Amino acid sequence: MTAGLQQGPGCPVPQVDLERVQLGHGSGGTMSAALLERCFLPHLANDTLAPLGDAAVFQAPAAELAFSTDTFVVHPLEFPGGDIGCLAVHGTVNDLAMMGATPKYLSVGFVLEEGLEMALLERIVASLARAARECGVPIATGDTKVVERGRGDGLYLNTAGIGAMTPGFAPRATLARAGDTIIVSGPLGRHGMAIMAAREGLRFEAEIESDTAPLHALVAALHDAVGQAIHVMRDPTRGGVASALNEIAAAAGVGMVLEERAFPIPEPVEAACEMLGLDPLYVANEGVLVALIAADAAGQALEVMRAHPAGAEAVAIGRVVDDHPGLVVLETRIGGRRVVDMLPGDQLPRIC
Amino acid sequence: MTAGLQQGPGCPVPQVDLERVQLGHGSGGTMSAALLERCFLPHLANDTLAPLGDAAVFQAPAAELAFSTDTFVVHPLEFPGGDIGCLAVHGTVNDLAMMGATPKYLSVGFVLEEGLEMALLERIVASLARAARECGVPIATGDTKVVERGRGDGLYLNTAGIGAMTPGFAPRATLARAGDTIIVSGPLGRHGMAIMAAREGLRFEAEIESDTAPLHALVAALHDAVGQAIHVMRDPTRGGVASALNEIAAAAGVGMVLEERAFPIPEPVEAACEMLGLDPLYVANEGVLVALIAADAAGQALEVMRAHPAGAEAVAIGRVVDDHPGLVVLETRIGGRRVVDMLPGDQLPRIC
């Protein structure tokens, strides 16, 4: 719909396109208030957000807190299996969950590009709100800015999150110990390859969907079952499993041995990676965790994870060793061994 | 400095410009790690950030918390009186302070545009770090993304902050009462006009500097002195004093009367606004608060504020009334009265 006044002869009238974001929506005035009322609040409304003050106020959810932030610049904004809205919720929820925290509150900051379709924005806000509800984490506070056409790419999103730590549970990289079993909770490489395919207009026999999903419930189930046998957890997003494991190996001064034949790479991901010359170990995941579990609890951990929807295809892919500290070594399908480094540069930009 | 390999005959070698941000710096791999090590950590390092996990972990700083976020897209990135780095700290610190909270922890999210000068980025990171130190608020956690050239504007920043609420102190819009004195803590319109002048290359007789500054110490002094006589506080950023007061009037269902002759508008701001056809009441401030104070404590409040560097030029500009609920009315210098509305659209885009 385009709202224009009646146009008299010789009198050009400015046309205001109500279907697209305009600079005035970022002014802090009545247009900002209208955007909030019409597009944001119908989806995001909750008791914590409701007072719409300069900040949200709530009781501290635990004696010890976790605090995390992530900005999302994924392109395209919508992709098979998700969109930037639910991704922004899952990303921060998962960062909190990897520290052993229960996610409790999120903030959200929007950077809108002038000209963004209102209908697209509203779909994304709805998806973000749905994901937050499904995670049981209210959007407590937010902010919106608008930049001129050509100074953004539709929409960038930031989320920050506060989580409640559980006493006695603080998995971290430096707890990795020789003997630990390295488990991944599901198939690898789906998010990165879904984005790549959507961006490049690639078609494969089977469509690859992003795995974007929250992991906090899986972590809670795992903690209930094996407790402090969980030494380290990471969500291998940018840089993939290879980069996450390299960081842990470096931080803990341990070595790792991975078994290539154990990797759960879906056939379409494998085919797409082969075609594009990419290594699935470096491709981003958004609904998978890597856990280092004390060896004697690894069997039970796998069982519990497989009983949970988010971990149905969990599998052990390797072990922590005393040898070659700081190095991640791959035992290949054909019996060779090679070092798996960190991702050096930009395999896939703007994946999250 | 440009790092190139020795070039053999007929062999074009890629040139990597180490003085500018590249897409690989957002990959999550070794280039991201190098950027963190070289540009971010030397300035931002602190005990909370140090473990560099997926989230920061710390003791809850109070039984009741405030949580706020703001994204900063100000253009230009550096301006007289400040830059996007210190602005991003002050903005969120002030949002927390307006709720009566003591700022305790910040997160920061960077969106870098490919090609951004490293030297500029480092100046901004240093400024952000300095502002955070001066506020006594560590950067607890952070994130960096890179977008392609032409998909950003150098740098966008998000900060989120956690503050500690003081029991019994919860100023908010709905506490505004007829009789309250409306006080501003300092000169109006400096930030917005400094940005405008820098952006448009305008020169005035006296340079206008942004007022960007933290307000939490001023709030603490005010609270120590007059306690719950502080009914409402707002930092009038986008939309200026006029929009902030309109929001309060609407939320509390009260009227307001402002005295134009009391407004502390610096002469260069007044002159610049006149030249550009802007109303200083709608221009953004980044180091000023508006407080609604119970009338019998207003004198003491002014005294305390004026004794503080951030409130040296504090002045009463009006009062809350029972009449015309929801309306802010201005008594002009020449004795007229007119309604001061909310800012409708985009007086000045990308001001913060």
Q: Are the beta carbons of A84 and A157 closer than 8 angstroms?
A: yes
The answer to whether A238 contacts B27, with C-beta atoms less than 8 Å apart, is: yes
Which chain B residues are within 8 Å of A22, Cβ to Cβ? 345-346
pLDDT at B16 over 70: no
Residues shown for chain A: 352
Cα B29 to Cα A340: distance, rounded to the nearest angstrom: 13
Reported as a pLDDT band with limits 50, 70 and 90, residue B15 is low
The pair of structure tokens assigned to B254 is 């009260």
pLDDT at B345 over 90: no
The pair of structure tokens assigned to B275 is 């030249």
Q: For chain A, how many helices (H) and strands (E)? A: 9, 16
The answer to whether A109 contacts B60, with C-beta atoms less than 8 Å apart, is: no
Task: Name residues whose C-beta falls within 8 Å of residue A216's C-beta, 6 or more positions apart in sequence.
Answer: A93, A94, A96, A97, A102, A103, A135
Contacts across the A-B interface (CB distance below 8 Å):
287
pLDDT of residue A25: 92
For B243, nearest residue in chain A (alpha carbons): A29
Q: Which domains does chain A have, with CATH numbers?
A: 18-49+59-165 (3.30.1330.10), 173-339 (3.90.650.10)
| Closest CB from B23, B32, B109 relative to A71 | B109
The answer to whether B55 contacts A156, with C-beta atoms less than 8 Å apart, is: no
The distance in angstroms from the start CA to the end CA of chain B is 33
The answer to whether B60 contacts A55, with C-beta atoms less than 8 Å apart, is: no
The answer to whether A152 contacts B151, with C-beta atoms less than 8 Å apart, is: yes
Residue B259: strand pairing partners: B331
Instruction: Give the distance from residue B234's alpha carbon to the nearest chain A alpha carbon, in angstroms.
Output: 8
pLDDT at B14 over 70: no
The answer to whether B55 contacts A163, with C-beta atoms less than 8 Å apart, is: yes
pLDDT in tens, B36-57: 999 999 999 999 888 888 899 9
Cα dihedral across residues A116, A120, A123, A127: positive or negative: negative
Reported as a pLDDT band with limits 50, 70 and 90, residue B1 is very low
Which chain B residues are within 8 Å of A30, Cβ to Cβ? 341-345
Owner of token pair 């919860």: B170
pLDDT of residue B2: 38
Cα A226 to Cα A209: distance, rounded to the nearest angstrom: 31
Owner of token pair 């969950």: A97
pLDDT of residue A200: 83
pLDDT along chain A (352 residues), means of 10: 40 67 87 91 91 90 98 97 98 98 98 98 98 98 96 98 97 97 98 92 85 98 98 95 96 97 96 91 96 98 98 98 97 95 77 90
pLDDT of residue A201: 83
The answer to whether A62 contacts B58, with C-beta atoms less than 8 Å apart, is: no
Q: What are phi and psi of A148, to 5 degrees?
A: -65, 155
pLDDT of residue B300: 98
Instruction: Give the distance from residue A238's alpha carbon to the nearest chain B alpha carbon, in angstroms.
Output: 5
For B34, nearest residue in chain A (alpha carbons): A344
Mean per-residue pLDDT for B184-212? 91
Cα A173 to Cα A155: distance, rounded to the nearest angstrom: 33
The residue among B54, B159, B292 with the most chain A CBs within 10 A of its CB, best to mutate, is B54
Cα dihedral across residues A331, A337, A343, A348: positive or negative: negative
The answer to whether A107 contacts B160, with C-beta atoms less than 8 Å apart, is: yes
The pair of structure tokens assigned to A160 is 């920050």
pLDDT of residue A208: 95
Cα dihedral across residues A321, A323, A327, A330: positive or negative: negative
To the nearest whole number, what is the mean pLDDT of chain B? Answer: 93
Cis peptide before A14 (omega within 30 of 0): no
pLDDT at B3 over 90: no
Q: Are the beta carbons of B74 and B127 closer than 8 angstroms?
A: no
* H or E element at residue A206: none
DSSP of A212-275: ----HHHHHHHHHHHGGGEEEEE---TTHHHHHHHHHHHHHT-EEEEEGGG----HHHHHHHHH
Long-range contacts of B33-38 (CB under 8 A, 24+ apart): B33/A342, B35/B144, B36/B144
Reported as a pLDDT band with limits 50, 70 and 90, residue B18 is confident
Which chain A residues are within 8 Å of B128, Cβ to Cβ? none
Task: Name residues whose C-beta falls within 8 Å of residue A303's C-beta, 6 or more positions apart in sequence.
Answer: none
Q: What interface predicted TM-score (ipTM) does this complex get? A: 0.93
Which chain A residues are within 8 Å of B147, Cβ to Cβ? 73, 153, 156, 350
Burial class (CB in 10 A: 0-12, 13-18, 19+), A179: middle
Q: Helix/strand/coil (H, E, C) string of chain B?
A: CEECCCCCCCCCCCCEECCECCHHHHCCCHHHHHHHHHHHHHHHCCCCCCCCCCCEEEECCCCEEEEEEEEECCCCCEECCEEHHHHHHHHHHHHHHHCCEEEEEEEEEEEEECCCEHHHHHHHHHHHHHHHHHHCCCEEEEEEEEECCCCCCCEEEEEEEEEEECCCCCCCHHHCCCCCEEEECCCCCHHHHHHHHHHHCCCCCCCCCCCCCCCHHHHHHHHHHHHHHEEEEECCCCCHHHHHHHHHHHHHCCEEEEEHHHCCCCHHHHHHHHHHCCCHHHCCCCCCCEEEECHHHHHHHHHHHHCCHHHCCCEEEEEEECCCCCCEEEECCCCCEEECCCCCCCCCCCCC
The answer to whether B237 contacts A73, with C-beta atoms less than 8 Å apart, is: no
The answer to whether A99 contacts B344, with C-beta atoms less than 8 Å apart, is: no
Q: Are the beta carbons of A2 and A18 closer than 8 angstroms?
A: yes
